[in-house]
Amino acid sequence: MSTDPAPGHLRVRLDLAYDGTAFSGWAMQPGRRTVCGELTSALSTVLRQDVTLVVAGRTDAGVHASGQVAHLDVPDALWGEHEERLLRRLAAVLPGDVRVWSAAPAPAGFDARFAAKGRRYAYRVTDVPYGPHPLRRNDVTWHPRALDPVLMNEAAAALLGEHDFASFCKKREGATTIRCLTRLEWTREAPTSLTPGGLLVADVRADAFCHSMVRSLVGALLAVGEGRRPVGDPGRILAEEVRSPEVKVAPPQGLTLEEVVYPADSELAAQQEKTRRIRVLGAD
């Protein structure tokens, strides 16, 4: 199924960031404040027509983004009218907790969701006894017990590669839970004025993530890091391929979507086809 823009229309790529604290996630929800709702309203106001957004990945309530990507299709003439001033006009009508920092014509074959070949998240947590600095309370989770990143990285090694992550996902009807996790590594950052006790940061990368997958993985590893669970526990849970009540989902505020990765322009259409295929474990 082609998602190319209609004749006479141009596809525009939007790069954006948001503080997810006061949002009920990305997706539109009746009666709730969402990122998509605010951005769609702002774009419709500025462009003076209804718009439809396609996003690289829908974030949950309370989750942030510094490198989210979306696209919309607009008539060529409308883009010519607004191109030079679109960012400034959006900044004037958007709330302060969401910003579009780039808007540009997308290359042929681009689709914010289906052309993406990878996503990178960061999860930030502090284990100091006094909790996060007040200026970091919205993007850092407090874990009240000491954590050992060496143990967490040892446990994470068993999760890398292509697996059925059903044990760590909230199942959606008709959606696969097969993903390829390419990196899950914890580092303890040096102290700064805003993080005097330092931070533990997880670098989490995969071709895609299913619902609640990152926070579920983090929750399982935090239990290992504090010594409450053995190192082999996350790997054992993964092998069961059934949503496990043993896994505590980590709080949303520590999670930020940092980057969406796309292939070279010449490979965008092929990536779309690959993403749309029904996924089978072990298939190319």
The Cα 70–Cα 14 span in angstroms is 5
- Name the DSSP class of 102: E
Query: Would you name the residues annotated as active-site residues?
Result: 60
Please work out, in degrees rounded to the nearest 5, the angle formed at the alpha carbon of residue 88 by the alpha carbons of 83 and 90: 90
CB contact at 8 A, 268 and 107: yes
Ramachandran class of 278: left when φ > 0, alpha when ψ lies in -120 to 50, beta otherwise:
beta
Of the candidates 256, 68, 221, the residue with the CA atom closest to the CA atom of residue 149: 221
Contacts for 198 with CB less than 8 Å, ≥ 6 apart: 126, 128, 188, 189, 190, 191
Tokens of residue 180, six digits: 């390829």
CB contact at 8 A, 221 and 203: no
CA distances from 140 to 172, 180, 201, 225, 272 (A): 28, 26, 9, 17, 34
The two beta strands, 141-142 and 118-126, are: parallel
